[in-house]
A and B are shown apart, each in its own frame.
Chain A
Amino acid sequence: MIYLYYSKRNKAEVICIRDNIKGGALTETTLLVLLAVYQPKHGYGIMQFIEKETSGRVILGAGTLYGAINALVKKKWIIPFGDEPDSRKKEYIITAAGKQKVEEELKRMDEVCKLALAIIGEESST
């Protein structure tokens, strides 16, 4: 957790910023949805892909997925694929900006993994 101190009308206040804002970490839901739409998929397809690829560890709720899709469309990390106006059948595909975010996230996760493995390795050798 990072703490920022600033003065507002001479009154010191503290704002807590979660680590992921600073580090740019994506939530697992976001990352999995982005990975799911490397090939065009509709909502139900995304849900099934995530459940299958995580061997049932992650089962996204339909409401959570709806929110994630809308947030990613707003950020232009995914876009509707084709011109299907019916939201029941609408498919989505990842954009170049979305792919870039995935690559950045993989790099960040790799750094965290290396750090953790180095520490765990040191611990187990002592």
Chain B
Amino acid sequence: MSKTVFRYFFDFLDGQEKWLNTMAGQGYRLKKCGRVTYTFDECTPNEYEYTVEFVGDKAYSQAKDYRRYLEGMGLRTFTKNINLNFSYGKVKWRPYAKGMGQIATSPGGFNRELLILEKRKDGKPFELHTDVHDKLDTYKTVRRAYVWAIFLLLGLTAMTFIPGVSSMPPAMAWVLRAIILAFGILFIIPAVKYSSFVNRLKEESKTFE
């Protein structure tokens, strides 16, 4: 029997991964995912496990190649959105990405910033990145995505203080600022967490590979 759950994660990497593994522990195997929906099939509890990979910094062709490679490694893959995009029509700008990854198109890499990966539980750790430097690069990329989101929210807040920019009454402007602040906090929490990962890994990388 299928079960659909509505969920959105501001901590799109670890938070989502933990939740998917909790669901798998309760006997739910991911069948498909939409923007804010996850559909599960029933399975034996703890039969599968999940990890989430951020590929929003990659050009679409690179992300596709990486996905094919992971499937070749025997992993089941799903694409997922983070909705951290600033768009005009079907061409989106991803300020946190590198090179051609900054331009995401739909159809293309837009709304496919994450890869959810599934494997049958075999007692071995399900880690995609096992090298300190590689982990460091991964978390730096994730942190950059959050920092950009925070900067853009700050920019948006600053705009509400510029006289004449909007015809909004002052009370509405404060409501808007409060909403932006709430979103800002939701982005700041994971940003701080990934920053602390980056700092710890930087220390580790001085001694270990």
Contact = CB atoms under 8 A, between A and B. Distances in A.
B72 A42 contact: yes
Interface residues of B, number: 24
B122 to A, nearest CB: 11
Contacts, number: 59
A91 B124 CA distance: 25
Contacts of B65: 87
A95 interface: no
A63 B74 CA distance: 13
Nearest to A28: B209
A27 B130 CA distance: 12
B201 interface: no
B56 to A, nearest CB: 15
B138 to A, nearest CB: 7
Given A29-B209, A43-B73, A59 B68 contact: no
Interface in A68-98: 68, 86-89
A75 to B, nearest CB: 16
B9 interface: no
Interface string A22-44: 00000111000000000000111
Given A28-B209, A59-B124, A64 B134 contact: yes
B204 to A, nearest CB: 13
B159 interface: no
Given A44-B72, A47-B73, 11 more contacts: A28-B209, A29-B131, A59-B130, A61-B134, A62-B128, A63-B128, A64-B129, A64-B131, A66-B69, A87-B68, A87-B72
30 contacts: A18-B206, A27-B131, A43-B72, A44-B73, A59-B124, A59-B125, A59-B130, A61-B129, A61-B131, A62-B69, A62-B75, A62-B128, A63-B53, A63-B138, A64-B128, A64-B129, A64-B130, A64-B131, A64-B134, A66-B66, A66-B69, A66-B70, A67-B134, A67-B137, A68-B131, A87-B65, A87-B69, A87-B72, A88-B68, A88-B71
Interface of A: 1, 18, 27-29, 42-44, 47, 59-64, 66-68, 86-89
